[in-house]
Structure 1
Amino acid sequence: MLPRALIPPDRPRVSVRSEQFPLERQADGVRRIAEIVLVEIHEGSTRGRGECVPDPALGETVEAVIAAIEALADGISTGVIMRRSLQRTVPAGVVRNAIDLALWDFDAKRTNSSVWQIAGLDVPHRLTTAVTIPHGSAEVMGALAAQEAHRPLLKLELDSIHEFDRLLAVKVAAPHSRLIVDAHAGWTLDSLIQAMPTLKDAGVELIEDPLPASNDAGLASFKHEIPICANRSCRDRSSLPHLVRRYDAINIDLNRTGGFTEALALLEQARDDGFRIKVSSRVGTSLSTAPAAILGQDADWVDLDAPLLLARDRQPGLRFDGSVLYPPSVSLWG
Structure 2
Amino acid sequence: MSGISLDIAVETFPFAAPFRISGYVFDHQDVVVVTLTDGEYIGRGEASGVYYLGEDPARMMAQIEAQRALIGSGVSREMLRGAMPAGGARNAVDAAMWDLEAKRTGQAVWQLAGLAPPKPLATTFTLSADDPAAMARRATDFADVPHIKIKLTGELPLDVKRVRAIRAARPDAWLGVDGNQGFARRDLIPLIKVLVEERVSLLEQPSRRGREADLDGLKCSMPIAADESVLTLDEIPSLVGRFGVVNIKLDKCGGLTEALLMAKAARLHGLGVMVGNMVGSSLAMAPAFVLGQLCDIVDLDGPIFLARDRTPSVVYSRGQATCPPDLWGWPA
Q: Which residue of 1 aligns with 2:65?
A: 70
**RMSD of equivalent CA atoms:** 1.8
Which structure 2 residue ranges, 5 or more long, are not aligned? none
Q: For 1:323 and 1:284, how far apart are their aligned partners in 2?
A: 18
Task: Find out whether 1:147 has 2:141 as its counterpart.
Answer: yes
Q: Partner amino acid for 1:227?
A: P
Please give the residue correspondences for 1:42-121 in structure 2 after superposition, counting only pairs within 5 Å.
Answer: 42-79=37-74, 81-121=75-115
Q: Which residue of 2 aligns with 1:3?
A: none
Q: Which residue of 2 aligns with 1:134?
A: 128
Please tell me whether the aligned partners of residues 149 and 176 of structure 1 are also in contact (alpha carbons under 8 angstroms).
no
SS at structure 2 position matched to 1:32: strand
Q: For 1:298 and 1:170, how far apart are their aligned partners in 2?
A: 29
Distance apart, 1:35 and its partner CA: 0.7
Please tell me whether the aligned partners of residues 148 and 174 of structure 1 are also in contact (alpha carbons under 8 angstroms).
no
Q: Partner amino acid for 2:131?
A: S
TM-score, normalisation: structure 1: 0.92
Please give the residue correspondences for 1:140-219 in structure 2 after superposition, counting only pairs within 5 Å.
Answer: 140-160=134-154, 161-162=156-157, 163-219=159-215
User: Matched residue pairs, number?
Assistant: 324
Q: For 1:134 and 1:166, how far apart are their aligned partners in 2?
A: 11
Distance apart, 1:222 and its partner CA: 3.3
Q: For 1:236 and 1:54, how far apart are their aligned partners in 2?
A: 14
SS at structure 2 position matched to 1:213: coil
Distance apart, 1:189 and its partner CA: 2.5
Q: For 2:37 and 2:208, how far apart are their aligned partners in 1?
A: 42
Q: Which residue among 262, 268, 273 is the counterpart of 1:272? A: 268
Q: Which residue of 1 aligns with 2:291?
A: 295
SS at structure 1 position matched to 2:16: coil
Q: Partner amino acid for 1:12?
A: I
Task: Give the 3 Å change call, closer, same or farther, for CA 292–31 of structure 1 in structure 2.
Answer: closer
Distance apart, 1:27 and its partner CA: 6.1
Distance apart, 1:218 and its partner CA: 3.6
Distance apart, 1:31 and its partner CA: 7.9
SS at structure 1 position matched to 2:85: coil
Please tell me whether the aligned partners of residues 313 and 327 of structure 2 are also in contact (alpha carbons under 8 angstroms).
no
Q: Point out the more displaced range, 211-220 or 291-300.
A: 211-220
Task: Find out whether 1:22 has 2:14 as its counterpart.
Answer: yes
Distance apart, 1:71 and its partner CA: 2.1
Q: Partner amino acid for 1:76?
A: I
Please tell me whether the aligned partners of residues 126 and 326 of structure 1 are also in contact (alpha carbons under 8 angstroms).
yes
TM-score, normalisation: structure 2: 0.93
Q: Partner amino acid for 1:35?
A: D
Q: Which residue among 225, 229, 238 is the counterpart of 1:229? A: 225
Q: Partner amino acid for 1:22?
A: P
% same residue: 35
Please give the residue correspondences for 1:7-18 in structure 2 after superposition, counting only pairs within 5 Å.
Answer: 11-18=3-10
Q: Point out the more displaced range, 43-52 or 320-329.
A: 320-329
More contact order relative to length (CA 8 Å, sep ≥ 6): 2
Q: For 2:311 and 2:19, how far apart are their aligned partners in 1?
A: 26
Please tell me whether the aligned partners of residues 150 and 174 of structure 1 are also in contact (alpha carbons under 8 angstroms).
no
Task: Give the 3 Å change call, closer, same or farther, for CA 150–263 of structure 1 in structure 2.
Answer: same
Distance apart, 1:10 and its partner CA: 8.3
Distance apart, 1:209 and its partner CA: 0.6
Q: Which residue of 2 aligns with 1:5?
A: none
Task: Give the 3 Å change call, closer, same or farther, for CA 56–186 of structure 1 in structure 2.
Answer: closer
Q: For 1:206 and 1:92, how far apart are their aligned partners in 2?
A: 27
Distance apart, 1:57 and its partner CA: 3.3
Q: For 1:82 and 1:14, how far apart are their aligned partners in 2?
A: 15
- Larger-Rg structure: 1
Task: Give the 3 Å change call, closer, same or farther, for CA 200–159 of structure 1 in structure 2.
Answer: same
Please tell me whether the aligned partners of residues 287 and 333 of structure 1 are also in contact (alpha carbons under 8 angstroms).
no
Q: For 1:36 and 1:58, how far apart are their aligned partners in 2?
A: 15
Q: For 2:40 and 2:328, how far apart are their aligned partners in 1?
A: 15
Q: Which residue of 1 aligns with 2:300?
A: 304
SS at structure 2 position matched to 1:214: coil
Please tell me whether the aligned partners of residues 149 and 173 of structure 1 are also in contact (alpha carbons under 8 angstroms).
no
Q: Point out the more displaced range, 190-199 or 86-95.
A: 190-199
Q: Partner amino acid for 2:121?
A: L
Q: Which residue among 217, 221, 241 is the counterpart of 2:237? A: 241
Distance apart, 1:333 and its partner CA: 3.2
Please tell me whether the aligned partners of residues 280 and 304 of structure 1 are also in contact (alpha carbons under 8 angstroms).
yes
Distance apart, 1:244 and its partner CA: 1.1
SS at structure 1 position matched to 2:66: helix
